[in-house]
Structures are given as structure tokens and as C-alpha cells.
Amino acid sequence: MATVHNLIALAIAFTALVAVVSPATYKEGDQVTVYVNKVGPYFNPHETYHYYQLPVCRPEKIEHKSLTLGEVLDGDRMAHSLYDIKFRTDVPSKKVLCNVKYTQKELDILRSAIEDLYYFEFVLDDIPIRGFIGHLEEGGFLPHNHKIYLWAHLHFNIEYNKDHIIYANVTTKDQLPISLDGATTPMELVFTYSVKWMNTDLSYEDRGTRLRDNSFFPKNLEIHWLSIINSLVLVFLLIGFVVIIMTRVLKSDFARYNIEDEEDADDLDSDDNGWKIIRTDVFRFPPNKNLFCAILGVGSQFLALATGILLMAMAGMFNVHRHGAINAAAVVLYAFTSSISGYVASNMFKKMGGENWVWNINLTSALFALPFFLVWAVINSVAWAYGTTRALPASTVILLMALWVFIGYPLTVLGGIFGKNYAGSFAAPCRTKNIAREIPDVPWYRSAVAHCAIGGFLPFSAISVELYYIFATLWGREQYTLFGILFVVYGILLSVTACISIALTYFQLSAEDYRWWWRSIFSAGSTGVFVFLYALFYYYKRSNMSGLLQTLEFLGYTALTCYVFFLMLATVSFFASLKFVRYIYVNIKMD
């Protein structure tokens, strides 16, 4: 039953992504529902608890609001509150919300929440309203002490325009806070609230901007245009250099090879060197074809997914003041783009002469889903043990699994069958000899490790400026709105990867090493390692996150993200190299 409910919720979530939600209208005196949502430490954006887990005013019977998938994924758990607010009806003087009698244990819970700088989030007409639970006053230096205060009065400011609510916030400072130090139990507290309605000229469409400009969370997302432009220029120069040098070098190579061909075609192998000499090996298929093709398949799927999400975001399909919509869209799109991974993987597998396509498709569908599931299972179990709202409820878990089992997996298989049936031959420009050539030793700067360092670092440096913003969006509470820039950076990342990959493959082939297949995967894929190192730096230096749960979640999901980077860039890198290798070997005269 819960699953059916959730499936409906999912359908609604998905339509909500696409359709514009029609605004709620009120008449004077209409009830305006305030939902309580979550609480959590201010600096741990992904550690949130249900509001009613704190000892606060709560109704006799807690009634939950049904949520969309995006909201559930974002840790939202909304429930009705006791606040009685009527449209355009002020509550000028303090109105009693409830009395709470505290036991020692409850008081301790409240105290430690205030010490951890807990904030709360309510939702009023889809507008998140946030404020601090209490107030911490740092006292003397030696001996160190601090004073703990609780805000027991909330003042709601609500702006309206005709029959719409445009903006709302709460202020806590209208009444002095209550000191919780040295309080004796049982202690009785009175919670109160007041409401002020204000007319505004802002239209309903401006709600988003109004919310962004008055965010409760710090806005450190000043875009450093100069550094972004700087990195763009560098990247264009880099790409330009690579292209110019490669074309010149290739031109002279072609000239040399094709003249040599005419002069002494008979004993070419004896005094020739460079990439032409390995033409009988360069199209020798690599070992572990199965895994190789699976990586390309899943990489292609994520390329499509990332492009799709960015395009949707640019088209303004996501509600900007709520995070979850993008997560929900990613989950749904992941399931629906699975056919791409199946198609690409089994198509390539067949071309490379692979036999057991069933195993290949299964490997493809597990390549991301399995690590994801494992990481998620560990994090979710810990979150469950902590009792946070980040732990997905069982019904959502079932829904997500159903999404994979009934949509993701079948589509992978379907794509795989199509891919296998439509695969032509590999059509290599040169015949591969049965016996492999010996590979000469290379100096250290041409080794695989050096290639991975270069191939990973350059694409990483192209995006490093932007990475900070991406992390701040994913792991902070900033709303990323410059999807246009992100799209440009994404395009640049892929172009740099392709260029570097081609250059490195060229160097490798000139050193008469024909094992470029796996090398091209790892040289560019190693960007993921750099991104992970950056993430560690971000976690320890730039964020104030702490605690086991938050650390685990950060490391787990960051590792997965870097894995996705690896898959995407490896795919771009390999296909770019493949095109390049085909191109150069088609263009030399064969004997």
C-alpha cells in the first residue's frame, strides 16, 4: 500500500519537475498551515532530524504530510504544527503555543542541541522558514564556560500580495531568550508566538529571488568571475596548443612514412620506428574486454544523464529553493537512461569479438548500481541508527529498488539486445598479426603512472575553480543557479579530456607501445582521484562538517561521485583516442 502511495508520489514528483505548480490562493481569515520539518546542526547540512525529536511543543497526535520523492530524498519530514495562523490576520501580542514541563533528560537534549547550533526549519506555503533553536554565549576564556539560552518566542513576518503569500520568515529576538543554565527540574516553559502580515508589491514569480536574497544560511557563493574566465582562457590555449602541435607532428609523420614507403617499401621494418611500426598490433583487443565494455557503457549512460540534468536545470525545471528535485530527477533519469549503458556496452563487446553477452549486460548493470547500493546501505544503516531524517524510510527504499528492478535493469537488457544485434564489425584499418610484438622499455616520463598524473591533472585543473561551487552546492546549502556556467565548464572538461587523451595516446604509440586501450581509460579517468583529493581538502579546510555520520556520508557519496567522474571521462577519453588511432592508421599508405 505504501509502495502504491509512493509510486503516485513519484509520478507527482515527476510531473512537478516538468509542470509549473499553480500558486496557492487565500482569502482573509483562511487557515495558513505551518508544517514543522527538520532540525539539525547548522554546519552539517546532511544531518537532519525530525523536529518533534526535540522536546518542543507538539500536538497530541502527530500528523505527517505526504511528501514527494525529492522531498524524502532531501531529508524532509513534514508534520502539522500547533501554530494557528490566519491569512492577513495579525497576532500582535504573544499568543501561547503550549506549556512544556521538562525532565532532566529532556533538558539535556535541548541543551546539547543548542550547543551544536541546531536550527529548525518550518514550511509555510512551500516557503522554508528557518531559525535557531537557541543561542550560545561564549563566556570567559579561563576557565572557559558558555551560557545556553533558548528562544521561546517566535515572531512570524509574512508578506502577501493580494491573495498570495510571497515571503515569510521568523525572528526570534523580539523577546529575551530564556537561560537554561542552572535550571532546576522539573522546569516549566511557555512557548509563544506572534504574527505580522505585510503587504508587498513583489509578484508571485519573484518568490524565488526574494528567498535567495534573504537566505538563513551564509551566502559565500560569490562567483569569482575573473578566476573562471582565467581558467577558461588557459583551457582554450591548452586545447589550441595540443591541436596545433598534433596536426604539425602528424603532418611530418605522414610525410616521412609515405616517402619512406615509396623509397624502400621492402625493408620497412628494419630501420623504421615510431607508431607506424606497431600497426599490426595497435588494434589488438585488450584483455578483460568484458569489464572494458561495461565501463564504456556506464560511462556513456552518465554522460547522457549529466547532459540531461544540466539541460533541464538550465531550462529552469527545478524549484530553486528546494534541493530534492534534482536528486529525484537524477534517480528517475538514471533508471530511464539504463538502456544507453546496455546498448553501448554490448555493441562494443560484440564488435570486439566478445562471446558471453549475457554476462556482459549483467556486469554493465551492476557496475554502478552495486557499489552505489553498498555505500548507500552502510550510510543509511548508520543514519537509521542515529535516527536522522536522512535515513530513507522503508517505503522509499522499496520504491527505489522497484525503479531499478522494473525499469533500470530491463532497460539495460533491452538496450543490450539491440546493441548486440546492431553491432557491425570493428573494421580496423590494419590487420592484426597473431604474434604480439615486444614492447620496448620506456623512460619514466612515458610510464603509465606519469600518463595518469598528466591525464588526470589537466582536466582537473580545468574544473578546479568550479569544483568549490559544486561542492558548496552539494554539501552546503547554497543554491547553485548558474547552470549555464556549469554547462560550459562541463563542455570544457570533456574537450580537455579528449585532447589530452589524444596527445597521450600519440606519445604512447610513438614509443611503440600498443596497449593504449586500457591506458586511455585510466589516464583520463584518474581525474576522479584528483577530485577525491580535492574533496578531502574541502572537507577538512572549507567545511565545518563533523561527526561520524556526516563524515561517512561525505566520504561515501564523494567516492561515488568520483567513480562517476572516472566512468564518464574514461569513456570520453577512450572514444577520442579510438577516433584518433583510426584516423592516423587509415591515413598511412599500407604495403
Stretch that binds ligand NAG, among 98-106, 167-175, 455-463, 478-486 (CB under 6 A): 167-175
Q: Collapse the DSSP code of 95 into the 3-class scheme (helix H, G, I; strand E, B; otherwise coil) and give the result.
A: strand
We find the least distance from the C-beta atom of residue 167 to ligand NAG, in angstroms, to be 6
Stretch that binds ligand NAG, among 53-61, 164-172, 367-375, 581-589 (CB under 6 A): 164-172
State CA 121 to chain mean position distance: 23
We find the least distance from the C-beta atom of residue 447 to ligand NAG, in angstroms, to be 57
Query: Which lies closer to ligand NAG via its Cβ, residue 212 or residue 437?
Result: 212
Tell which positions 536-565 bind ligand NAG, by CB under 6 A.
Answer: none
The amino acid sitting at 10 is L
Whole-Å CA distances, 444 to 220, 318, 441: 43, 49, 9
We find the least distance from the C-beta atom of residue 207 to ligand NAG, in angstroms, to be 13
Q: Contact between 76 and ligand NAG (CB under 6 A)? A: no
Query: Which lies closer to ligand NAG via its Cβ, residue 132 or residue 516?
Result: 132
We find the least distance from the C-beta atom of residue 119 to ligand NAG, in angstroms, to be 13
State CA 124 to chain mean position distance: 28
We find the least distance from the C-beta atom of residue 158 to ligand NAG, in angstroms, to be 8
Contact 416, 298 (CB under 8 A): no
The amino acid sitting at 57 is C
Q: What are phi and psi for residue 146, nearest 5 degrees?
A: -145, 155
- Residue 562 C-beta-side C-alpha neighbours within 13 Å: 19
Q: What is the per-residue binding string for ligand NAG in 391-430, x denoting contact by CB under 6 A?
A: ----------------------------------------
Q: Collapse the DSSP code of 98 into the 3-class scheme (helix H, G, I; strand E, B; otherwise coil) and give the result.
A: strand
Q: Contact between 159 and ligand NAG (CB under 6 A)? A: yes
- # of chain residues touching ligand NAG (CB under 6 A): 7
- Which among 304, 410, 421 is positioned nearest to 365, based on CA atoms? 410
Please give the full DSSP string across 431-442, using - where no structure is assigned: PPPSSPPPPPP-
Query: Which lies closer to ligand NAG via its Cβ, residue 125 or residue 159?
Result: 159
Query: Which lies closer to ligand NAG via its Cβ, residue 153 or residue 519?
Result: 153
Query: Which lies closer to ligand NAG via its Cβ, residue 170 or residue 535?
Result: 170
We find the least distance from the C-beta atom of residue 7 to ligand NAG, in angstroms, to be 39
We find the least distance from the C-beta atom of residue 477 to ligand NAG, in angstroms, to be 15
CA distance 273 to 510: 8
Whether the CA torsion 275, 279, 280, 284 is positive or negative: it is positive
Own/partner long-range contacts of 233-240 (Cβ < 8 Å, ≥24 apart) = 234/462, 235/462, 235/492, 235/495, 235/496, 238/458, 238/462, 238/496, 238/499, 239/495, 239/496, 239/499
Neighbours of 113 (CB within 10 A): 24
Question: For ligand NAG, which residue of 214, 220, 230, 544 counts as binding (CB under 6 A)?
Answer: 214
CA distance 419 to 524: 25
Q: Which three cell numbers stand for residue 323?
A: 534541493
Q: Contact between 194 and ligand NAG (CB under 6 A)? A: no
We find the least distance from the C-beta atom of residue 189 to ligand NAG, in angstroms, to be 24
Neighbours of 111 (CB within 10 A): 16
Query: Which lies closer to ligand NAG via its Cβ, residue 157 or residue 546?
Result: 157
We find the least distance from the C-beta atom of residue 321 to ligand NAG, in angstroms, to be 14
Tell which positions 98-137 bind ligand NAG, by CB under 6 A.
Answer: none
Stretch that binds ligand NAG, among 65-73, 79-87, 166-174, 363-371 (CB under 6 A): 166-174
Please give the full DSSP string across 244-308, using - where no structure is assigned: HHHHHHHHHHHHHHHHHHHH--TTHHHH--SGGGGTTTTTPPPS-HHHHHHHHHHHHHHHHHHHH
We find the least distance from the C-beta atom of residue 217 to ligand NAG, in angstroms, to be 12
Question: For ligand NAG, which residue of 33, 157, 319, 380 counts as binding (CB under 6 A)?
Answer: 157
Stretch that binds ligand NAG, among 163-171, 292-300, 347-355, 432-440 (CB under 6 A): 163-171
We find the least distance from the C-beta atom of residue 170 to ligand NAG, in angstroms, to be 8
Q: Contact between 169 and ligand NAG (CB under 6 A)? A: yes
Contact 85, 32 (CB under 8 A): yes
Q: Collapse the DSSP code of 323 into the 3-class scheme (helix H, G, I; strand E, B; otherwise coil) and give the result.
A: coil
- Which among 346, 343, 341 is positioned nearest to 365, based on CA atoms? 341
We find the least distance from the C-beta atom of residue 151 to ligand NAG, in angstroms, to be 13
Residues that bind ligand NAG (CB under 6 A): 157, 159, 167, 169, 171, 198, 214
